[in-house]
């Protein structure tokens, strides 16, 4: 727009100078016509763009550091053609990363059009896109009128997968002998006995209770127990008072890795997520890959303006109690796990929240590369200390 204004300013000055210098009526007519066109164009801008419809289309999910495509669909329901531009603002609600995408466009009378764009985030999280106003320009790009619009959408950028063996996490609080077991059905868990009975054709020899068989002179079978679903609840807090992208990325990756480790070891667990969009606390069983992806998507999409993971669980009067709790946080001031101690055994996983000398287990976590600048290389790995502490 600035370039058009400069060009028109120079044209008007040139015509005015030529009129004064030569006294020719031709230059005077050209000057008058130019002025009339500018005024007419500016007036038409006041009527354009009043009947615009918008729709933002974005993918449901994307991968970190990879570009994804979006489309802004527009429909001009007016008899006036429209030329203008909007600035699509985006922000990662999980890490605080933000940016802008300028989108110029033009539509004819009652025409529909689409403007495509690409975006990417170097961090995982929920990327919210939108704008609340746009500029409608005249035909010559000299005048502009601001129009109001409410356009929004979001894409969830999933974290990278890190396979981590959390044996030190499971050997005490979540080993198979510490589970609660069902008293109404057998299962396939060798850590606890459900029932003793006589041998039946088809039973595996691995189920034979050798000591009892020797005493009774009859083949006795030990049926395995079935762990109930309320064994472990995994909670992850997405909110940080002072946003740190590295800690936030580590929280998401550690949460994902813990879920995968439990799935791989076939340890029953559930994940609790507070959905800030609906104001509801959700508990979901995590057994399959699909469960894992759904939980991560909900966790990243539900980033809110305050700490709610533990509060949401405790305030839900219909929520069952669990034998063990794992609480993952990246906020150094987070003390929410203390309120869970009355419910069961609590393990706190702090991502960059304290010193490794505080006791308990600790590891150095290498989270995904952040946005490189002139001193960084793409895919540079960054470190974050992760501590594991059981509340007594």
pLDDT exceeds 90 at position 99: yes
- The proportion of the chain whose per-residue pLDDT surpasses 90, expressed as a percent, equals 29
How confident is the model at residue 272, as a pLDDT? 92
Query: Does the model's pTM come out above 0.85?
Result: no
Average pLDDT on 196-204 reads 75
pLDDT exceeds 80 at position 173: no
**Residue 223 — pLDDT band, cuts 50, 70, 90?**
low
Helix ranges, 59-195 (H): 167-170
pLDDT digits (tens, 9 = 90+) for 305-334: 788 888 889 887 556 778 789 999 998 888
pLDDT exceeds 70 at position 12: yes
Cα 33 from Cα 385, distance rounded (Å): 71
CA distances from 209 to 18, 196, 225 (A): 111, 8, 15
358's CB contacts (< 8 A; 6+ apart) are 387, 389
Cα 68 from Cα 65, distance rounded (Å): 9
Q: Is the sign of the CA dihedral 158, 159, 164, 166 positive or negative?
A: negative
Average pLDDT on 48-69 reads 92
Say how far residue 36 (Cα) sits from the centre of its chain: 53
Query: What are residue 292's phi and psi, to 5 degrees?
Result: -60, -45
Q: Range with the lowest mean pLDDT among 132-141, 220-229, 289-298?
A: 220-229
**Residue 369 — pLDDT band, cuts 50, 70, 90?**
low
Averaged confidence pLDDT in the chain: 81
Per residue in 135-144, is it b (16+ CB within 10 Å) or e — as a string? bbbbbbbbbb
Angle between helices 2-22 and 25-47 (to 10 degrees): 150
Average pLDDT on 101-126 reads 92
Q: Choose the most confident range, by mean pLDDT, from 40-44, 51-55, 339-343.
A: 51-55
Helix (H) or strand (E) holding 315: helix 309-315
- Pairing state of beta strands 144-158 and 181-198? unpaired
How confident is the model at residue 354, as a pLDDT? 66
DSSP secondary structure string for all residues of 29-45: HHHHHHHHHHHHHHHHH
């Amino acid at each position: 727009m600035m370039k058009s204004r400069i060009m028109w300013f120079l044209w008007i000055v040139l015509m005015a100078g030529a009129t004064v210098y030569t006294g020719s009526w031709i230059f005077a007519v050209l000057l008058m016509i130019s002025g009339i066109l500018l005024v007419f164009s500016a007036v038409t801008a006041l009527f354009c763009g009043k009947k615009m419809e918008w729709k933002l289309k974005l993918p449901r999910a994307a991968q970190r550091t990879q570009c994804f495509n979006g489309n802004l669909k527009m429909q001009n329901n007016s008899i006036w053609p429209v030329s203008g531009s909007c600035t699509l603002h985006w922000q990662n609600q999980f890490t605080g990363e933000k940016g802008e995408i300028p989108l110029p466009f033009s539509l004819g009378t009652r025409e529909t059009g689409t403007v495509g764009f690409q975006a990417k985030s170097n961090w995982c999280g929920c990327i919210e896109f939108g704008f609340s106003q746009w500029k409608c320009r005249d035909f010559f790009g000299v005048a502009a009128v601001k129009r109001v619009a409410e356009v929004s959408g979001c894409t969830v950028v999933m974290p990278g997968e890190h396979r981590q063996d959390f044996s030190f996490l499971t050997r005490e609080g979540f080993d198979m002998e510490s589970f609660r077991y069902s008293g109404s059905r057998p299962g396939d868990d060798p850590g606890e006995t459900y029932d003793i009975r006589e041998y039946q054709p088809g039973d595996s020899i691995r189920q034979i209770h050798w000591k009892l068989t020797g005493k009774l002179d009859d083949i006795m079978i030990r049926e395995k127990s079935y762990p109930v679903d309320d064994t472990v609840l995994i909670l992850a807090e997405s909110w940080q008072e002072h946003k740190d992208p590295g800690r936030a990325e580590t929280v998401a990756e550690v949460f994902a890795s813990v879920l995968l480790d439990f799935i791989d070891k076939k340890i029953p667990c559930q994940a609790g997520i507070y959905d800030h969009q609906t104001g509801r606390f959700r508990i979901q069983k995590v057994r399959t890959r699909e469960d894992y992806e759904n939980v991560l998507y909900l966790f990243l999409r539900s980033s809110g303006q305050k700490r709610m993971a533990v509060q949401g669980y405790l305030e839900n009067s219909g929520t069952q109690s669990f034998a063990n709790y794992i609480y993952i946080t990246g906020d150094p001031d987070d003390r929410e796990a203390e309120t869970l101690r009355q419910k069961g055994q609590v393990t706190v996983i702090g991502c960059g929240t304290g010193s490794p000398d505080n006791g308990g287990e600790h590891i150095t976590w290498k989270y995904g590369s952040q946005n490189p600048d002139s001193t960084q290389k793409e895919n540079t790995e960054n470190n974050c200390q992760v501590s594991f502490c059981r509340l007594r």
